[in-house]
Amino acid sequence: MTEIINKKEVQGAPSKKVAIKTVKNIDQAHFELKRITDRTSGTFQDKAIKVVDDILKNVNERGDEALKEYTSRFDGFLAETFEVPSDLILKAWAETPRELQDSLLLAKKRIEKFHSLQLPKNINHTGPYGEFLGRRWSPVEKAGIYVPGGRAAYPSTVLMNAIPAYVAGVNQTIMVSPANEEGELNQTVLAAAHITGIDKVFRMGGAQAIGALASGTESIPKVDVITGPGNIYVTLAKKKVYGKVGIDSLAGPSEILIIADQSAKLEHVASDMLAQSEHDPLASAILITTDKNLAEKLPAEIERQLINHPRLEICQESINNWGLIILCDLLDTCAKLSDTFAPEHLELLVKNPQELSKSIKNAGAIFMGPWSPEAIGDYLGGPNHTLPTSGTARFASALGVETFMKNTSIIDFSEEAFNENKNAVVQLAHSEGLHSHAESIRIRDSKSY
């Protein structure tokens, strides 16, 4: 077994060549998967933390004045006001082509239906001595949704964040998104904001937008929960404000892992890997396969599909640096390697995906078979596309209705229940050395302790 096959330089690329690494050795596979997981850590992140700290401090102290300065510096336009007027949002919807309107409405319908099934149930329990115990769910008052700009427009992010907030019953939903140099937001993003009932839309992005939502400014309401993906500055800002507000997760660069056997079609695997790579130069696309023929032919097929690709350079940088092919003897080994990586998106392009899925423990979302490409989940499958990245699927979950809700415990003891449990409470309080805890029980009872 060779440890690593040298990078295969694929011929026929329209510009620089694509090089995708292939490994056969399991130890080397673990090394490469860890390298990909850790791709955003290091010196750059340390420098970004200082930048984010300064921005958050400045926004907290100077409010809108600081926001205007950062918007001018980073987004390239001078903002007299940040809020997008409601008539412009309605105009964006009215001017959206009918076919795109229908697609947005279909996605909204499917996402809303699935998320309505997530509403948690209250617990109402009566104990053996008449005590009532409960857990009551309620929505947060205000939610802030971050929608990225920059490399692409993401109306799907609007749907995937605003709809769960709406289903949860959030009273006010506020969206922030960076505008272009003319101070304009993407029209389809605004159209999605219209159909999801977002209350306010603000033209701002970056760590400064997160700081504004977390602290509140003269024009930006302070929220209770912030959700939505962004670049490293947005992610670090969310990490810093957590505790002051709730957040959904700390999203890293997007990733896909495909497990494939001899039943998988070469062109499907290549296109699904490129669908992830075109997001960002830091996006990662990984194939773990038992089919040697697929592993050998994939680089050339990726190169073929990149001809005249509108996001060629992004795809090439992603594939060159963070693409990977792992060749295994058994599907069971493929599944174990996948669980080690804990991918954001996992595609099972195998003969029996339902059976293989039973052995998967760590994945943000699993896409079963050839008719469930990851793009279905990105737009209108129903489950949320905001998923744990960078190995956090080991303990984290997709954004959902519960992200915008909290629960309150209810304890209502009867006198009988109190008397039946009082001695145990006193013993436990004394074991912790908490005198007044025990005294609060004793004072309610006629007996002496």
Which tokens sit at 77?
């336009």
Reply yes or no on whether 345 is catalytic. yes
- Say how far apart CA 120 and CA 149 lie, in whole Å: 33
Task: Give me the catalytic one of 115, 194, 345, 385.
Answer: 345
In order of 11, 12, 45, 269, 305, the CA distances from 301 in angstroms are 10, 10, 34, 9, 6
Closest residue by Cα to residue 322 from 274, 356, 290, 269: 274
Q: Are 348 and 356 in contact (CB under 8 A)?
A: yes
- What residues contact 428, with CB distance under 8 A and at least 6 apart? none
SS3 19: strand
- Say how far apart CA 52 and CA 74 lie, in whole Å: 13
SS3 325: strand
- Say how far apart CA 393 and CA 153 lie, in whole Å: 26
Look at the block and give the residue holding tokens 């954001």. 344
What single string gives the DSSP state of each residue in 81-148?
--BPPHHHHHHHHHTS-HHHHHHHHHHHHHHHHHHHTTPPPPEEEE-TTS-EEEEEEEE-SEEEEE--
Angle at alpha carbon of residue 85, lines to 82 and 87, rounded to 5°: 165
- Say how far apart CA 433 and CA 365 lie, in whole Å: 47
Q: Which residue type, as a one-letter code, is found at position 395?
A: F
Reply yes or no on whether 415 is catalytic. no
Angle at alpha carbon of residue 348, lines to 345 and 360, rounded to 5°: 75
- Say how far apart CA 347 and CA 256 lie, in whole Å: 8
Look at the block and give the residue holding tokens 């409960």. 134
Task: Give me the catalytic one of 344, 347, 374, 385.
Answer: 344
Angle at alpha carbon of residue 302, lines to 301 and 303, rounded to 5°: 90
Q: Are 429 and 79 in contact (CB under 8 A)?
A: no
Q: Which residue type, as a one-letter code, is found at position 181?
A: E
Which tokens sit at 417?
């229940």
What is the set of active-site residues?
A: 344-345
